[in-house]
Structure 1
């Protein structure tokens, strides 16, 4: 796919109006790509939903692939605005502290922002469908490439390093990754399968009170698991230290023990 076209404009007012039009097209396209998929969503329908004529869409994006790429870039930029501050703070904690409680709270803060984003998306069906289709592998891969590079890689990278340091395991150890997935899995179904979870709980919607209940339950589970895994690592370290510091047994003591 080609790079998203961003034409120059001569005046500040014209630029502002142009950016508003461009954003309106992107928002309409996200809805239609979510509802119908890339192939079925036509540029004519996108233009109509955005309230512009078809040539305007071509002027801003050249073609449908350009529109789709712009949608992914917009979603990645918006998500990173939310995640960048907490990723930066988590990175600072990783670099400056070996204190397990501090590392756990850094992970909780990261998880909190991720949950806010996931639960927010669950209330926007077409936006959620955009991501479901993107992850399903049937849409153009450019969206996955953009979102992966700009958001998912740095976000999951720092989350993995936190779990790794807390558990005393390498970041690329499959068990480290499985533990991370188990922690995130507590809330990701609210993003991918909200109807099933609401039915299971007997809820009609996720209001503020229910969201706080879910978050507190997830945070409690996360702290319990991370403390347990950290404790297992500490116990294993203590056992190894005890074994290496114990004096070797002599042959005479071995014979004496055998006679006894």
Structure 2
């Protein structure tokens, strides 16, 4: 994985990015408890004191991995999410407009969860955190999951011409978003059952269309 940057990195920054990438791989593969700083150092090609210098300890590195994921999400989806949240907060959004925002968010989410290997590494880290929480879990919940699911829940309520905040729409938002785990957490099973080698452009469109049909049911319900 090549972590996103805005300008050329200094040697120290390159080392830090390499440790962050190695940490993300090890945490995604072994979980926080199973990964060791010695393992991460070997994968990054550095010594243990270098990890301590940049991140303090294993807990600090894990939080830094989670923070990097939140920031990547913000860079990729923030304009869309902020515009949708602003529209929802105005109180004048029509049901049709809310549904349009939901369609656009679903398209962006499908693209994110079916992205290339670089994006998949962050997805694997996130999935591990869902089942085995480490020090970075709170950062992911507060900076990624809670606001994202909350936005979908509010838009779903508006699309159903109901007041946001109802438990039914909140549960619906959770179920809609987690349906995409068919192509993350259980992707090997899904692809084998469907006879797909990978999710190419046409099949990604199919997944997006099916996600929108699930949304049809929630809005119509």
Report TM bin, short chain: 0.7 to 0.9
Unaligned runs of 5+ in 2: 1-7
How do residues 1-260 of structure 1 correspond to structure 2 at under 5 angstroms?
16-94=10-88, 95=90, 97-120=92-115, 127-136=122-131, 138-140=132-134, 142-222=135-215, 224-225=216-217, 228-229=220-221
Normalising by structure 1, we get a TM-score of: 0.74
Distance, in Å, in 1 between the alignment partners of 2:96 and 2:133 is 42
Displacement of 1:211? 1.0
Note closer, same or farther for the CA distance 1:124–1:60 as it changes in structure 2 (3 Å cut).
Answer: same
Distance, in Å, in 2 between the alignment partners of 1:128 and 1:158 is 20
Tell me, yes or no, if the aligned pair for 2:182 and 2:190 is still in contact at 8 Å.
yes
Distance, in Å, in 2 between the alignment partners of 1:156 and 1:200 is 28
The SS at the match of 1:103 is: helix
Which structure has the higher relative contact order (CA within 8 Å, separation 6+)?
Answer: 2
Displacement of 1:36? 1.4
Which structure's CA Rg is the greater one?
1
Unaligned runs of 5+ in 1: 1-12, 230-260
The SS at the match of 1:169 is: coil
Normalising by structure 2, we get a TM-score of: 0.85
